[in-house]
Chains A and B, each alone.
Chain A
Amino acid sequence: MRRLKNILGNQRGFMLINVVFLTVITSFAAMILMDAAPRIRNNQTSMRLIALNLANEQFAYLESRAARGLEPDAGFLGEGEDLINDSFGNENMPINFTVETSVTGGGNLRSVTVTVKWQSGGENFEIESERTIRIVETS
């Protein structure tokens, strides 16, 4: 035993306590990584795609109204149920979109801006889409 102590006592290298500390730190790092990794997946590109198509839906109805000589309407003209979306695992907490429309311009041409807003993970997001719409004269 004394011989063993002599041999180990003169060895340079890591002590057990060093290795234990390293293991604990590595485990913590692994836990943090495993916890954070799913958050790297950002669904906002998909949400933007959904929002952009909702804006297009609003434009379609506005254009349809304009083709019949009707002024653009500020409210959402599409299907009401389209504003609730449960894509990407949001079945239990579906995302609610809101669509706002602002209209400027005179004469036959209207500059229409459609803003789609939604909330995800406590953050607010929005996209804006613009289009010029001509009101058809129906006389």
Chain B
Amino acid sequence: MLKRRDGGFVLIEFAIALPLLILIAWGLASVTAKIFYLSKNQLADYVLETEAQYVIERVTQRARAASSITVEREEKYNLKIDKIELKYRAVNDDPENANLNVADVLERQIFVVDNKKLHAKRIDDGASTSPITGDNYFGGTQINLFHCDLNETEKILHVTLEMESLISGHKIKINTAVFMPGYGS
């Protein structure tokens, strides 16, 4: 028996409220999912941009001090991927340290792409254990293009790098060049 002061919902109220609640919950869930999706992509794009910047800066800084460069043209995974070996002059900023004070030391740096990741190596032993790109927790990346053109007359190394985020699918392509005053010396 229904009484005027009874608390609670009547079935008809519940029947009206439930679809409305579902509608509102669905809308909020969609927005939340979209925001999470965008956040994930933004983080992955940030990783992509940071890694691309790191690679291009590292290669150009090494090349700037290079005395010789060897570029091997390679076709891997149907992509243009070069292998580059630089010999550059190590800089000693500590004249007090006799052990380090060895003038004009030449160091070797090899940049090679394996498994679509760039590896920076000191020796060319074929092992690929030192990737400097690709393994970030917030978003994997791959190298799509790593192309180096050496102009020996003008002492310029032109570098093209294209990287892709495995999460967002976005690509970034950076072109730059570096003048190598000590090249050939």
**Cβ A87 vs Cβ B173 within 8 A:** yes
B5-23 interface bits toward A, Cβ cutoff 8 Å, 1 = contact, 0 = none = 0100010010011001001
CA distance A82 to B10 in the complex (A): 70
CA distance A73 to B30 in the complex (A): 55
CA distance A4 to B2 in the complex (A): 8
**Cβ A56 vs Cβ B176 within 8 A:** yes
CA distance A63 to B172 in the complex (A): 27
Q: Which residues of A contact B30 (CB under 8 A)?
A: 30, 34
| In the complex, A67 has a CB within 8 A of chain B | yes
Q: Which residue of B lies closest to A49 (CB)?
A: B53
| In the complex, A53 has a CB within 8 A of chain B | yes
| In the complex, B76 has a CB within 8 A of chain A | no
Q: Which residue of A lies closest to B38 (CB)?
A: A37
**Cβ B56 vs Cβ A53 within 8 A:** yes
8 Å CB contact of B175 from A16, A53, A63: A53
| In the complex, A137 has a CB within 8 A of chain B | no
B98-123 interface bits toward A, Cβ cutoff 8 Å, 1 = contact, 0 = none = 00000000000000000000000000
**Cβ B177 vs Cβ A23 within 8 A:** no
8 Å CB contact of A45 from B10, B49, B155: B49
CA distance A85 to B53 in the complex (A): 16
The 7 closest A-B pairs by CB, nearest first: A53-B176, A82-B175, A60-B177, A57-B177, A63-B179, A60-B179, A64-B154
Q: Which residues of A contact B (CB under 8 A)?
A: 3-4, 6-8, 10, 16, 19-20, 22-23, 26-27, 30, 33-34, 37-38, 40-41, 45-46, 49-50, 53-54, 56-57, 59-61, 63-64, 67-68, 78-79, 82, 85-89
A and B contact pairs by CB, cutoff 8 A, 12 listed: A3-B2, A7-B6, A7-B10, A19-B20, A30-B30, A34-B34, A37-B34, A49-B53, A56-B60, A57-B177, A63-B181, A64-B179
Q: Which residues of B contact A (CB under 8 A)?
A: 2, 4, 6, 10, 13, 16-17, 20, 23-24, 27-28, 30-31, 34-35, 38, 41-42, 45, 49, 52-53, 56, 60, 154-156, 158, 160, 170-179, 181
